[in-house]
Amino acid sequence: MSEKRRSRWYFGGLSSSAAACITHPLDLIKVHLQTQHEVRMRMVGMTMSVVQREGVLALYSGLSASLCRQMTYSLSRFAIYETVSDQMKDRTHGPMPFYQKVLLGLFGGFAGGFIGTPADMVNVRMQNDVKVPLELRRNYAHALDGLFRVWKEEGMKKLFSGATMASSRGALVTVGQLACYDQAKQLVLGTGAMQDNILTHFLASLIAGGCATVLCQPLDVLKTRLMNSKGEYVGLLHCVRDTAKLGPNAFYKGLVPAGIRLIPHTVLTFIFLEQLRTCCGIRIVT
């Protein structure tokens, strides 16, 4: 007989939130790069510009919204994916085929993306606030203030502006992260060369982070533009056409900082998740 530990449904949200506290400055710079109408600055230049104008703490603008996003978006998608995955494993007494992991990732990510859209929109706005003129800033005090003001000033519908894009992006990033992490971990352990330890978790999550970055970057760019808009786009297709005018590379604007942010975030999330499983997970005797 052997013993394994499984996640509780909320471990994904906690792990993602802990990772976000570390990678938030990278996420903020990525948003700034994506919302440029013309490519004027690269990652280092944008970072220096923010620090020089607003100080080092400006790199953590919108952290409360980022944590709110993780505890809605990431908590939901991890809870759906891992709960169903555990039930399938109990039923079949083995790992799911990769195509089932992909389908489950698409469903869980789409649902999580929709649930997390309001917090995601406020997160983008708060991060982008530090680079606009003082008279044009929204100046949300924190995530809840931002959610309330959007609802009061712009209506409930505006809270879900870009929901289709956010949900689609959530579906792709969940396939890249959760489905690819599970598959990579399964393949690595299947070689017999490595044990189920932090090195395996690091390698599998590194692969997953790279897959997620490539899959979701075009949608991430469009989502950021839609959520940060002030009415200049009449819909998704208008945003796609406007972005396409800048050339095909515009859909991968900020790919390097996105990878620099998303890959460490993915690695940290799964390392924290595996540690939570080990320390506080549900004990399963097999």
DSSP letter string, 97-127: PHHHHHHHHHHHHHHHHHHTHHHHHHHHHHH
Helical (H) or strand (E) element with 78: helix 75-92
Contact 15, 269 (CB under 8 A): yes
Domain spans in the chain, listed from the N-terminal domain onward: 3-285
Q: What is the mean pLDDT of residues 18-35?
A: 84
Tell me: pLDDT of 1 over 60: no
Q: Quote the tokens at residue 160.
A: 């879900």
pLDDT in tens, 148-184: 999 999 998 889 987 888 898 899 999 999 999 999 9
The amino acid occupying position 69 is R
The amino acid occupying position 269 is T
Contact 11, 277 (CB under 8 A): yes
Residues paired with residue 3 on neighbouring β-strands, in sequence order = 285
Residue 136: the pLDDT is: 80
Tell me: pLDDT of 264 over 80: yes
> Per CATH, the architecture of 3-285 is what?
Alpha/alpha barrel (1.50)
Q: Quote the tokens at residue 182.
A: 């599970």
pLDDT band at 2 (very low <50, low <70, confident <90, very high): low
pLDDT band at 239 (very low <50, low <70, confident <90, very high): confident
Which phi and psi (to 5°) does residue 94 adopt? -175, 170
Q: What is the mean pLDDT of residues 170-199?
A: 94
